[in-house]
A and B are shown apart, each in its own frame.
Chain A
Amino acid sequence: QKEVEQNSGPLSVPEGAIASLNCTYSDRVSQSFFWYRQYSGKSPELIMSIYSNGDKEDGRFTAQLNKASQYVSLLIRDSQPSDSATYLCAVNKEGSGNTGKLIFGQGTTLQVKP
Chain B
Amino acid sequence: DGGITQSPKYLFRKEGQNVTLSCEQNLNHDAMYWYRQDPGQGLRLIYYSQIVNDFQKGDIAEGYSVSREKKESFPLTVTSAQKNPTAFYLCASSISGLGTQYFGPGTRLTVL
CB 8 Å contact bits of A42-65 with B (1 = contact, 0 = none): 111110010000000000000000
Instruction: Check A99 against B50 for contact (C-beta < 8 Å).
Output: yes
Within 8 A of A (CB), among B54-112: 56, 58, 90, 94, 96-106
Instruction: Check B42 against A43 for contact (C-beta < 8 Å).
Output: no
Beyond A42-B106, A44-B103, whether A100 also contacts B98 by CB under 8 A is yes
Q: For residue B30, which residue of chain A has the nearest CB?
A: A100
Q: Which of B41, B43, B90, B100 contacts A46 (CB 8 A)?
A: B100
Most chain A C-beta atoms within 10 Å of own C-beta, residue among B94, B99, B101, B103: B101
A interface, how many residues as a size bin?
20 to 34
Q: For residue B94, which residue of chain A has the nearest CB?
A: A100
**Number of interface residues, chain B, beta carbon within 8 A:** 25
Instruction: Check A100 against B103 for contact (C-beta < 8 Å).
Output: no
**Bound-complex Cα distance A59 to B106 (A):** 28
Asked if B48 is an interface residue, CB under 8 A from chain A, the answer is yes
Asked if B21 is an interface residue, CB under 8 A from chain A, the answer is no
Within 8 A of B (CB), among A3-28: 4, 8
Asked if B33 is an interface residue, CB under 8 A from chain A, the answer is yes
Q: For residue B102, which residue of chain A has the nearest CB?
A: A46
Q: For residue B103, which residue of chain A has the nearest CB?
A: A43
A4 CB, nearest partner CB in chain B, Å: 8
**Bound-complex Cα distance A105 to B44 (A):** 10
B-chain residues with CB within 8 Å of residue A88 when the two chains form the complex: 42-43
**Bound-complex Cα distance A7 to B48 (A):** 28
B21 CB, nearest partner CB in chain A, Å: 13
Known contacts A32-B98, A99-B48, A107-B42, then 6 further A-B pairs from the complex at CB < 8 Å, ordered by chain A residue: A34-B100, A94-B98, A101-B58, A102-B101, A105-B42, A106-B41
A-chain residues with CB within 8 Å of residue B90 when the two chains form the complex: 43-44
Q: For residue A34, which residue of chain B has the nearest CB?
A: B100
Q: Which of B40, B101, B105, B106 contacts A100 (CB 8 A)?
A: B101
**Bound-complex Cα distance A42 to B99 (A):** 22
Instruction: Check A98 against B97 for contact (C-beta < 8 Å).
Output: yes
Within 8 A of B (CB), among A61-114: 88, 90, 92, 94, 98-102, 104-107
